[in-house]
Each structure stands twice: as C-alpha cells, then as structure tokens.
Amino acid sequence: MKIFNTRLSTLSDTQKAQLVEQYQADDYLLLDFDTRQHSRFRAITVSGEAVGVDLPRTGGLKGDDVLINESGELMQVIAKPQAVTKVTAADDFLLMKGAYHLGNRHVPLMFDHSFDQGEAGYALYFENDHVLAQMLENLGLHIESTSVPFEPETGAYQTGQGHSHGHSHSHAHSHSDSHSHKESHSHDESHSHSHGHQHSHSHHDTPVGRSNDG
C-alpha cells in the first residue's frame, strides 16, 4: 500500500499536469471534514485503491492539499460534500449575531458567499446539530439542510493556513463542483450542544478506514 507522508506547499508545472491526469482517472482522495482532521489514516481513492496517510501533526488536511510519498507519487485531497446546516439571515447584522453564538460554543464554522445564496449574499455552515439549529431559529435566522464541501475557518493564529472552500480547485484540475454529486454523505450528529471537544480526535493517530465509500 502506498504511504503518503509529506504535504507539498508548491507544485511544478509537471506535477500540476500529473494531478490533472490523476483526477481524470479518479486517482484522488475524496474526504470529509472529520477524516481530514487525522494525521494518520487509511483511505480509498475514488478509483478504489487503498492508500495510507502518515503526516506530521501540523494541522488538518484541506481540500486541494497535495501529498507526496517517498517515490515521488502524488495524491490530491478533495473536500467531500457532506450534510451540513446552512444559515442565512435577512441582514448581515443578524447573521453576525448567529456567528457569534456559534463561535461562543466553539463550533467549526464555514463562512461563504460563493455558493448560490440568492438574496442572502452570505451564509454560515456547520455540521448538523438540532440544538444549535433551534437556537439560531429562535434568534430569527433561516436554517436549511444542504450538502457542500465543508471547510471551516482555521484558528486566527495559524498563519498560512487560511481556508479555501472545497470547491476552488484551480491549481490542479479544471473540474467544477460536479464531483460533489458522485457521492452523498449523511453526517448524523448525536452529540449534545457542548461542542468544545468535538474535534479533539484530530490529534490521534487512529486509522479511520475507508473514508469515501458510498
């Protein structure tokens, strides 16, 4: 099994071309947010090949990260569309208020204005939680279920790791979000509304098995 143990920060033109070919051959990893928080895990490429990831504990993987192994082979990570809650509001102030209350509960939160928002303009996304959804509705925000690549904000002190929503794949391949419909991932949440710990597993080295099976 191939083991990818280094994250590439820059790509040559040759490597970019190689990734385009690999994408066309379904030779890439389609991973949800929780899986991307691990530093060591086994996964299955879209084409069905088992691979391993063994990285230093330097933060979670993001959509479009590219990994390389000791043989120089590449593997691109694409953020997998998953079930999340989308939050919109009638005005920016109300949406900001919702973001404050979610952030106060340490909820991983994605801010976005490039998906189709209609009149809203901006939206927040978080992993499904009915308690949080009810709280936001009580504040007057609009809640709906959807499925998108989930790329929440990183910590403000993590320099050089600003988020890039999982649909911006400009550097390696020319596809749009069409890959987001290959699989659907129902991410049912059974935890309570105490969220400060929910992603502490990101520092464990526990294999998570096949991460993109349909």
Instruction: Convert the pLDDT of each residue in 175-208 to its tens digit.
Output: 434 344 344 333 343 343 444 434 434 334 434 4
Global confidence as pTM: 0.67
* Whole-angstrom Cα Rg for the chain: 18
Please tell me whether residue 147 adopts helix, strand or coil conformation.
strand
According to the model, what pLDDT value does residue 127 have?
Answer: 95
User: Tell me: the pLDDT tens digits for 140-171?
Assistant: 999 999 999 999 987 655 544 444 343 334 34
Percent share of the chain, pLDDT over 70: 68
Average pLDDT, the chain: 78
According to the model, what pLDDT value does residue 14 have?
Answer: 97
198: which 2 tokens?
């929910």
Tell me the H-state helices in 110-198: 130-138
According to the model, what pLDDT value does residue 59 have?
Answer: 78
- pLDDT at residue 130 greater than cutoff 70: yes
Please tell me whether residue 92 adopts helix, strand or coil conformation.
helix
Contacts of 101 (CB under 8 A, 6+ apart): 135, 136, 139
What is the C-alpha to C-alpha distance for residues 152 and 111, in angstroms, rounded to an integer?
A: 7
What is the C-alpha to C-alpha distance for residues 107 and 150, in angstroms, rounded to an integer?
A: 13
According to the model, what pLDDT value does residue 181 have?
Answer: 38
According to the model, what pLDDT value does residue 116 have?
Answer: 54
The CA angle 49-52-53, to the nearest 5 degrees, is: 130
According to the model, what pLDDT value does residue 158 have?
Answer: 54
* pLDDT band of 124, cuts 50, 70, 90: very high
User: Tell me: the pLDDT tens digits for 60-103?
Assistant: 899 999 999 999 999 999 999 999 999 999 888 999 999 999 99
